Amino acid sequence: MTTTTKKKLAAILGSGNIGTDLVVKLLRTSAVLEPMLLVGIEAHSEGLERARSLGVETTHRGIEGLLQHPRFADVDVVFDATSAKAHLHHAKLLAEQGKRAVDLTPAAVGPYCVPVVNLGHELLQAPNLNMVTCGGQATIPIVHAVARAVPSSTLRYAEIVASIASRSAGPGTRANIDEFTDTTAQALCSVGGAGRGKAIIVLNPAEPAVIMRDTVLCFVDDVADQSALTKSIEAMVNDVAAYVPGYRLVKAPVFDDAVFHPPDLRDLPAIKGTRITVFLEVEGAGHWLPKWAGNLDIMTSAALRVGELVGRVAGPLSG
């Protein structure tokens, strides 16, 4: 006899590229979550119309439309795919209503979450989880893979460059460039394990559009075993690829002797060590977004993984 487990209900704030891709991913791939409502602010937006064509309820009344929806009390997880500024408002209202939020903006109201690095039971109980940025989801796992393979506190610095197709950067992304760089840099340290971090985003205008490419530079005092570090990186790539199949190494990690000058601390002596360079590509799954929009796909894929675990594991929020 086969038993069917009732799916948890999800609401999605934001009817742009990311919100629409989340709706499609939930419908096509999730055995845990069902998209109950897509929330936008324009009645005839392309995203809301597409959701309706797929049988998903919509509202164009923003967060108020969600809060006043007759089934709002049944919602288990709210994904926010709007903007950092909007989420600051949304987070407060959702917390007051006892709803768990998975934040795909750089607002960083809640703790940073990179599924393969720090998604444990304690984090799953948080009322608000921040998905950092697309660049963070792609590169922080690599920084962590370096940190776990070298002696404690010897990963002095991590710098990442995320290059994405200009066509994949919508108004929300462009409005949040400063938040992107700040949030990613902070998470390289607090989640990835680097002593200092720096993030750069490049909007590539090439036509036809190219897939997301990321470069990760890590400076460590010493690499006693390059083979072990390479294996740590390769294992992490496989872990990420389990939910982002288009995530891959372009080539084996590169090791160079280098001299590190601590940023903003020019009075300190330079440190001799090893620079590790990792080149990545992220191709999207093509559920709704084009395959070259890997930067958006890695965000929705990571958020879906988190949302499903929250739906399965997390208990109700305390009043």
Give the catalytic positions in this structure.
134
CA distances to 194, 215, 291 from 152, in Å: 10, 23, 38
For the chain, strand residue ranges (E) read 8-13, 33-39, 57-59, 75-80, 100-103, 128-130, 155-165, 196-204, 212-220, 247-249, 254-260, 271-282
Other beta carbons within 10 angstroms of residue 303's beta carbon come to 27
Q: Are strands 100-103 and 128-130 parallel, antiparallel or unpaired?
A: parallel
CA 272 – CA 258 distance, rounded (Å): 6
Element spanning 51, H or E: helix 46-53
Q: What are 130's strand-pairing partners?
A: 103, 112
194 within 8 A of 40, measured Cβ to Cβ: no
Tokens representing 232 are 């740590």
CA 177 – CA 308 distance, rounded (Å): 28
